[in-house]
Amino acid sequence: MSRVKTALHTPWFWAIVGIALLLLINTIKNPAYLAISVNPTTGMLTGNVLDILRVSAPIIMIALGMTFVIATEGIDLSVGSMMAVGGAVAMETLSALNAPTSVGAMFAAIGLALLLAIALGAVNGILVAVVGLQPFISTLIMMLAARGIARVITDGQNTNATNEPFRQLANGQILGLPTSFVFAIAIVVLIAVLMRRTALGLMIESIGINPRASRLAGIRPRPILIGVYVLSAALAAVGGLFSVSEVMTVSVSGTGNLMELDAILAVVIGGTSLAGGKFSIVGSTVGALLIATLNKTVLFLGIPAAATPAFKALVIIALVLLQSERVRSFAFRRTTSADTPSGPATPAAGESTPVTKEVVA
Amino acid sequence: MTEPTAIVEVRHASITFPGVKALDDVTFRLLPGEVHTLMGENGAGKSTLIKALTGVYQIDAGEIVVDGEPRHFTGTASAQAAGVSTVYQEVNLCTNLSIGENVMLGHEVRGWAGINWRKTHARAHEVLARMGLGDLDPHAPLASISLALQQLVAISRAMVTESKVLILDEPTSSLDANEVEVLFGVIRRLRDEGVAILFVSHFLDQVYAISDRITVLRNGRFVGEYLIEDLDRAQLISKMIGKDFESLRALGSNRQTELRDRSVPAVFAAESLGRKGAIDPTDVEVHAGEVVGFAGLLGSGRTELARLIAGADRSDTGTVRIRGKKVTLNSPVAGLSRGIAYSTENRREDGIVGDLSVRENIMLAVQARRGWFRRVPAREVDQLVRTYMERFSVRPNDPDRPIRLLSGGNQQKVLLGRWLATDPDLLLLDEPTRGIDVGAKADIQETVAELAEGGMGVVFISSELEEVVRLSERIVILKDHQKVGEVVNGPEVTAESIVSVIAAESGDQAELQADALADEVAAGEDLAEQEGSAS
């Protein structure tokens, strides 16, 4: 019972319920939806679920970076454009090197993309932490600027390139799972260890909860703030690499377009408050998986393109309402009073639980 | 002489918040053509009373009578309709609007096609002229004028509705002496026009310069209403802090008056440390093993001085030496790394990190000093947490509970643990006993004495002078952002003698009195020293 209760209180529990429901709907539409088969020509596994995992990789990356920015009571609107920058640098590098099988060329592309993203992330961080601009404004400027930089890099063209090792990032498989997804999860674990094994996570949370008290306790906010924006930009660039490696083309207007919104939604669904403070890495990852599932479901159900945003909005609103303490305790109270015949003890228990929850929350 | 009838009368009003009686049977009246000052320490109920008068809070018992009619204020709008206007401490204006728009906000003159801006600005000019601000251009942006003028614009705004009652809640806290004079000119002009003015300020000299009548509150209760002529400063302070003169005198110090060895450089020594608008240049010294008290009323500069010492605010003037070595303290990190820990008076805003657990709150400063990469090992954290939770018997005894769920006293103990965990040489405690129960208070006082015994330098700040006198070896007396005296504690020093220094008319006299006190004390010390060497 208590374990169930804890689960009900874990925000991302509802995201998992959402993923399961979406998969269920898809399976009802086509009973073979969950099937995984072997492609006879390549010998690789194929299936809708694997597709979902592959498209989730970039979302997981930007949601992960966004988590720490939001935990400091900030926001990073530039992650979508940063994906385009990462993709553009990689594609231009690969097409310039023109080495279709070279692993070195792949590393050069990745390295240059990360370098530029880190520099742009540092600009975000400095604008927020040193200049004192609001995160919304600083990163909004960067959102426009980075998209522009991506255009300059590719000269406004949708550049494509050929490099087999790089293509394998999104199209290869490790133990049957998409390579990009495996890498994304590895990065999530690595960052989680960095946050929780050092005191970085604690300090980020502390700054997000009470910046004044944190400063008086001797925490230096500036390096940490700059750090979270750099990390967010770097992870967004990685997301961009995963995204372009799927089709080996960067679309300067399409890559990462509006993805910052997906990242913010994933973080919120995962249970990190936009007011800053306590963050959940697992939550954001599950949130990103939900967004990916939702995107694929929209396509699979053949919902008209015009209705897609409305459908996504409906699902997300339902989820956020389910997570809300107040809505749930309201619904809970209604059902208990309706279902339980006037046994004196049971309604009392049913009613007292939401109250204590409120106090704890 | 018969007194005119009151415009506003509060009769036997009570307001209860969960667990606290914020106002308890308080009676208060405002007469036309008078400046009536409301005095009281923190938590006395001043702001609660003001909020009752302005309709923010509703009274649970008693009544509010305006112009002879009992009124029931359901919100700020109904209070304003009854003719009660308020100007708060922070200027509540829109800096991006023009002066005229600010004055007339909500009272714009309407014509056949919406607001008639020309007439609105003309009306604003009229109102401003009444305040003696006729030369201000109502079209100029508010941001283009000084804070003092903005404060006057705020008053003009309150007078647009021809209010009969004007409430000024600490209007002078951010003004300099000349600006205060201009403000007082306007207040006197309004008073002479028959407006009843409720004035709140922590500056004693200003209270005596402007008031006709004083009402004193303490702990939510009405202490008395006095004509300014009938109440001198010392009496006023003793009424505010709730001890009559005789008992203040009786509460002599029981601290030993041994002076620290002055040949060893002080743990902390500052020369003309100051910051504009916060505290005038001040000399302070704290030696190892010494408790130095900062005595002064709220707003005297005691907190501001402590913040400069800790590096929480940057100083504009002065030099600081730690154990004889010159240092610059420009951030809390700089202070902490040199062994200065500062426990703030504002526990909720500046102290606790609410959603973090008790454990994390205790280890935060230690962790910050080690940097983010080297996490304090779990064993060490457990050790620290256990040590301080046991030492101060923090309740509930659950280190994983978020600190915001603890009571004020327990939060204070956890914070004390946080600062002690950094093993400081100098501990600054700003109101460590405010708003906590008697048991926790005694624990904290005992701890302060113990810490000093163990060789730590402690600065102790409290509104309760008895507490300061009981614990401190030396007492720095502050008033109106200045150090007005410094006394070495001894049998002659009592809360009453401190009060008389604070109550002295102007700076010069205060120094005289402080000197006289110091002489007295020095004489006592000589004796003590002789006794000490004899034994």
Kindly provide the ipTM of the predicted complex, given to two decimals.
0.82
Q: Taking a C-beta distance cutoff of 8 angstroms, is the pair A140, A129 a contact?
A: no
- Residue A356 has a pLDDT of 34
Residue B2 lies in a domain: no
Whether B412 is covered by a domain: the verdict is: yes
Question: Do A73 and A275 touch, CB atoms closer than 8 A?
Answer: yes
| Whether A202 and B367 lie within 8 Å, measured CB to CB | yes
End-of-domain residue from the set B194, B217, B244 = B244
Q: How far apart are CA B285 and CA B23, in angstroms?
A: 41
Hey, which residues does B279 pair with through a beta bridge?
B275
Rounded to 10°, the helix A281-300/A308-323 angle is 140
Cα separation, B446 vs B291, whole angstroms: 12
Residue B1 belongs to a domain = no
Determine the structural domain holding residue B255 and report its residue range.
249-534
Is it the case that residue A236 has pLDDT exceeding 50? Answer: yes
Contact A214 B312 (CB under 8 A): no
Candidates B336, B374, B375; nearest CB to A218? B336
Q: What is the mean pLDDT of residues B207-219?
A: 90
Which of B348, B370, B372, B375 to mutate to test binding with chain A, by most A CBs within 10 Å of its CB?
Answer: B372
User: Is B3 inside a domain boundary?
Assistant: no
Is B108 among the domain residues? yes
Helix axes A259-269, A11-29, angle to 10 degrees: 120
The pLDDT of residue A185 is 97
Q: Given this model, what pLDDT does residue B153 score? A: 87
Dist CA B213 CA A258 (whole Å): 65
Distance of alpha carbon A247 from alpha carbon A244, whole angstroms: 6
CA–CA distance, A339 with B207 (Å, rounded to integer): 66
The predicted structure's pLDDT at residue B347? 85
Which of residues B348 and A343 earns the better pLDDT score?
B348
The answer to whether residues B271 and B220 belong to one domain is no
Q: How far apart are CA B198 and CA B200, in angstroms?
A: 7
Residues of chain A found within 8 Å of residue B367, distances taken between Cβ atoms = 199, 202-203
Residues of A in contact with B356 (CB under 8 A): 202, 205-206, 209
Per-residue pLDDT, averaged over B407-417, amounts to: 88
Looking at residue A1, what is its pLDDT?
Answer: 53
Mean pLDDT of B26-54: 86
Q: Are residues B257 and B116 in the same domain?
A: no
Residues B238 and B258 in one domain: no
Choice among A119-123, A256-260, A351-355 with the minimum mean pLDDT: A351-355
Write out the H or E segment, with its range, that includes residue B9. Answer: strand B8-17
Contact residues, chain B, for A212 at CB < 8 Å = 349-350
> What is the pLDDT at residue A351?
34
More confident residue, B119 or A86: A86
pLDDT: which is higher, B352 or B170: B352
Does residue B526 surpass a pLDDT of 70? no
B239, two tokens: 């009424």
Distance from CA of B24 to the nearest CA of A (A): 29
Q: d(Cα B467, Cα B241) in Å, to the nearest integer?
A: 12
CATH number for the domain spanning B235: value is: 3.40.50.300
Q: Is the CB of residue B401 less than 8 Å away from at least one CB of chain A?
A: no
> Region B517-535: what's the mean pLDDT?
44
Q: Identify whether B396 is preceded by a cis peptide bond (ω within 30 of 0).
A: yes
Domain boundary among B216, B244, B272: B244
CB B160 within 8 A of CB B153: no
- Measured between alpha carbons, how far is B296 from B310 in angstroms, rounded to an integer? 19
Please name every residue paired with B84 in a beta bridge, in sequence order, or none if there are none: B165
* B155 lies in the same domain as B284: no
Q: pLDDT tens, B180-196?
A: 888 898 899 889 988 89
Whether residue B216 is found in the same domain as residue B263: no
From chain A, which residues contact B within 8 Å (Cβ)? Answer: 197-200, 202-203, 205-206, 209-210, 212-220, 224, 277-278, 360
Question: Is residue B399 located within the same domain as residue B418?
Answer: yes
Most confident of A114-123, A165-174, A267-276, B502-511: A114-123
- Considering only the top CATH level, what class is A2-323? mainly alpha
* Phi and psi at residue A170, to the nearest 5°: -95, -30
* Chain B residues near residue A199 by CB distance under 8 angstroms: 367, 370-376
Mean pLDDT score across all residues of chain B: 83
- The whole-number pLDDT of residue A11 equals 79
* Mean pLDDT to the nearest integer, B116-138: 86
- Report residue B532's pLDDT band, with 50, 70 and 90 as the boundaries: very low
Query: Taking each helix axis from N to C terminus, what angle separates B177-192 and B147-159, rounded to the nearest 10 degrees?
Result: 10
What confidence score (pLDDT) does residue B269 get?
Answer: 92
Q: Which of A55-64, B157-166, B499-508 has the lowest mean pLDDT?
A: B499-508
Contact B372 A200 (CB under 8 A): yes
Chain A residue nearest residue B373, CA to CA: A198
Pairwise CA distance, residues B6 & A262, whole Å: 63
Residue B105, number of CB atoms within 10 A of its CB = 15
Whether residue B286 sits in one domain with residue B217: no
CA distance B22 to B44: 8
In the β-sheet with B221-227, what is the strand arrangement from edge to edge? B69-71, B61-66, B8-17, B20-30, B221-227, B213-218, B35-39, B196-200, B165-169, B84-87
Residue A181 has pLDDT above 90, yes or no: yes
Q: Write the residue in B333, B353, B376 that is nearest to A206 by C-beta.
A: B353
- Whether B256 and B277 map to the same domain: the answer is yes
Buried b (16+ CB within 10 A) or exposed e, A140-150: bbbbeebbebb
Residue A43: what residue type? G
pLDDT tens for B256-283 read 445 556 677 888 999 999 998 889 999 9
Domain boundary, last residue among B222, B244, B266: B244
Residue B173 contacts residue B202 (beta carbons within 8 Å): yes
**Pair (B32, B121) in one structural domain:** yes
Cβ B375–A197 below 8 Å, yes or no?
yes
Q: Is B280 helix (H, G, I), strand (E, B) or coil?
A: strand
Instruction: Specify the DSSP element, H or E, that contains B126.
Output: helix B117-130
Category of B201 on φ-ψ map: left (φ > 0), alpha (ψ -120 to 50) or beta: beta
pLDDT average, residue stretch A104-123: 97
pTM given for the model: 0.72
Q: What length is written for chain A?
A: 361
pLDDT score of B291? 92
The type of residue at B114 is G
Q: What's the pLDDT band for B114 if we cut at 50, 70, 90?
A: confident
From the list A199, A203, A213, the residue facing B350 with the nearest CB is A213
- A276 with A208: CB under 8 angstroms? yes
Q: Which of A130-144, B406-420, B486-500, B515-529 has the highest mean pLDDT?
A: A130-144
**DSSP secondary structure string for all residues of B322-347:** ETTEEE---SHHHHHHTTEEEE-S-I
**Higher-confidence position of A86 and B263:** A86
Same domain, B411 and B295: yes
What is the arithmetic mean of pLDDT over B228-251?
A: 71
Shortest CA distance from B337: residue in chain A: A218
B324 and B361 in a single domain? The answer is yes
Domain ranges for chain A, please list them: 2-323
* B492 CB neighbour count, 10 Å cutoff: 16
Residue among B332, B353, B375 whose CB faces A218 most closely: B332
Minimal CA separation from B272 to chain A, in Å: 23
Q: What six digits make up the tokens of B390?
A: 């046991």
Task: Report the sign of the C-alpha dihedral through residues B450, B452, B455, B459, in that order.
Answer: positive
What is the crossing angle of helices B117-130 and B147-159, to 10°?
Answer: 110
Q: How high is the pLDDT of residue B135? A: 84
Domain count for chain B, please give it.
2
Q: Per-residue confidence at A248, pLDDT binned at 50, 70, 90?
A: very high
- What mean pLDDT comes out for the span B454-469? 88
Average pLDDT of span B464-486: 88
The tokens for B117 are 């801006």
Q: Are strands A173-174 and A45-47 parallel, antiparallel or unpaired?
A: unpaired
Asked if A217's CB is within 8 angstroms of B364's CB, the reply is yes
Least Cα distance to A234 among A56, A53, A55, A68 occurs for A68
How do residues A292-347 score in pLDDT, each as one tens digit? 999 999 888 888 878 878 888 888 888 778 777 777 777 666 554 444 444 333 33
Q: Is the distance from CB of B218 to CB of B43 less than 8 angstroms?
A: no
- CB < 8 Å to B375, chain A: 197-199
Q: Is the pLDDT of residue B90 over 70?
A: no
Q: Given this model, what pLDDT does residue A352 score?
A: 35
Residue A19 structure tokens: 């993923």
The residue among A210, A216, A231, A358 with the most chain B CBs within 10 A of its CB, best to mutate, is: A216
Question: Which of A209-223, A228-242, B18-32 shows the lowest per-residue confidence on average (mean pLDDT)?
Answer: B18-32
DSSP 3-state of A114: helix
Residue B34 is predicted with a pLDDT of 92
The fraction of chain B above a pLDDT of 70, given in percent, is 87
Q: Which residue of B has its CA nearest to A202?
A: B360
Contact (Cβ atoms closer than 8 angstroms) between residue B357 and residue B402: yes
Q: Is the pLDDT of residue A144 over 90?
A: yes
Same domain flag for B275 and B392: yes
* Residue A350 confidence (pLDDT) above 60: no
pLDDT at B418 > cutoff 70: yes
- Least confident residue range of A137-141, A341-345, B201-205, B262-266: A341-345
Cβ-based burial of B277 (10 A; exposed 0-12, middle 13-18, buried ≥19): middle
In angstroms, what CA-CA distances link B530 with B124, B257, B525?
A: 72, 12, 8
Give residue A72's pLDDT: 96
